[in-house]
Amino acid sequence: MARRLVLGTLVMPNGHHGAGWRHPDARFGGDESFDFYRGIAQTLERGLFDVLFLQDQVCVRDHGGVEVQSRANITAHLEPLTLLSALSVVTRNLGLVATASTTYNEPYHVARLFASLDHLSGGRAGWNAVTSFTDAEAHNFGREAHLDHDTRYDRAREFVGLVRDLWDSWDDDAFVRDKASGRYFLPGRLHVLNHRGRHFAVKGPLNVPRSPQGHPVIFQAGASADGLDLAAATAEVVYAAAQAKADAQAYYTTLKARAAALGRPPGLPLILPGLHAIVGRTEAEAKAKYRALLDLVDPVVGLAQLSMFFTVDLSGHPLDGPVPDVPLTQGHRSRQKLLLDLARRENLTLRQLIGHVANGLGHLTIVGTAARIADVMQDWFQDGAADGFNILPPYLPGGIDDFVDLVVPELQARGLTRTAYDGRTLRENLGLARPANRFTPAPAPAALAPA
């Protein structure tokens, strides 16, 4: 099968632009409405997307107090696994991916939830494994502060390996359900883990049969040194952030090389940079949409959002002054570095950096026609910077409608994306192999017939 662009989208409740919810064409419902998400999922499936992705945080984001929070667009949202289970009933081919934190969950819970979603969806589940990065989450789980960076990643490595082992608790053919003999499953096809590690002790087995994909697809978004190590060892798809093609190429080359050195299959992991696309039928229309969104940005909210990322209070700094020097902290280090590098490279004021953050939280932003957006996607795809893109619509549902109606046909005309789904499962559509059960010996090679 010829290599083609992978298309995913991160569906935030009110769009990905910081002021997207205030756009005249934005519709509300992402906080609570199943019908809202059903329409988006079916539009994505019409556009032959691979993945609908729902991020998650187990807290109300702390944007500098209730007054600032009351003006922000991301405060409450539905629990993603529940929502994706419902969406599995009204879609047929779209991959359904959700975040679950390795810091605020237990491996057995995560293994069980995603295996169940894989069964309910007929093999379309994916898990975005993250370590989380805010103290606000810690406060909901009996902790005064978020775990330090090294501990989070040490825990995450054990967590991901344990989830994969739990997914292999049963062989694919374990459940014979033989009424005549009275045998429901074959005892030799059950695998009990008896895991004892630094962070977890789990006997097993998982109380869900092995799922249609064997393992739901593992997604990650690591860019720190520890994040790269974890992604190279375990991820099958990686969400990335890059403003410049050269930076994307460097990340792409580094991560693929690390994975190859660990003996991973060629081409893994697939790398999807975020793309905040503002599409117009003309350049003038696209630029008008962009200016309208920027005019709606509330600098107080933007400043609080920057403070959250840097875990440093920036409220005392002048908006039209330079971006202050801040140390990298225990929080979201890779995004901190990306934003600081951008500010230094383009000599941005604090207000200008707020504008960039509003445009997709520092991801690549392209404003233009479908042809211009497709040009950039094709260039990055064919020049070793991306295997596809995670589309970040500025507002909903119009941002997704624009991309599906205008950009997807342009990509199809260039032979970059599919015109029909290739398979039934997410793995099949991504071109990923179905993993063998690690507890089941591989069949011995057949003996050669005598000459």
Question: pLDDT tens digit string along 207-253?
Answer: 999 999 999 999 999 778 888 999 999 999 999 999 899 999 999 99
**Nearby residues of 305 by Cβ (< 8 Å), 6 or more positions away:** 18, 63, 72, 354, 357
pLDDT reading at 443 higher than 70: no
User: Are 243 and 150 within 8 A, CB to CB?
Assistant: no
pLDDT reading at 63 higher than 80: no
Average pLDDT over residues 177-182: 98
> What local confidence, expressed as pLDDT, does residue 344 receive?
84
Average pLDDT over residues 255-273: 96
What is the rounded CA–CA span in Å between residue 268 and residue 219?
11
CB-facing half-sphere around the CA of 222: CA atoms within 13 A? 28
Q: Domain limits of the chain?
A: 6-279+364-430
Q: What would the DSSP string read from start to end of 65-79?
A: SHHHHTT-S-S----
CA dihedral 79, 90, 273, 47 (to 10 degrees): -150
* CB atoms near residue 299 (< 10 Å): 13
Average pLDDT over residues 372-399: 97
pLDDT reading at 74 higher than 90: no
Least Cα distance to 124 among 392, 432, 387 occurs for: 432
- Report the CATH fold assignment for 6-279+364-430: TIM Barrel (3.20.20)
Least confident span in 190-204, 311-325, 364-378: 311-325
pLDDT reading at 320 higher than 50: yes
What is the rounded CA–CA span in Å between residue 137 and residue 144?
10
Residue that is written with structure tokens 């998400």 in the block: 37
Least confident span in 170-184, 296-310, 385-399: 296-310
User: Are 6 and 22 within 8 A, CB to CB?
Assistant: no
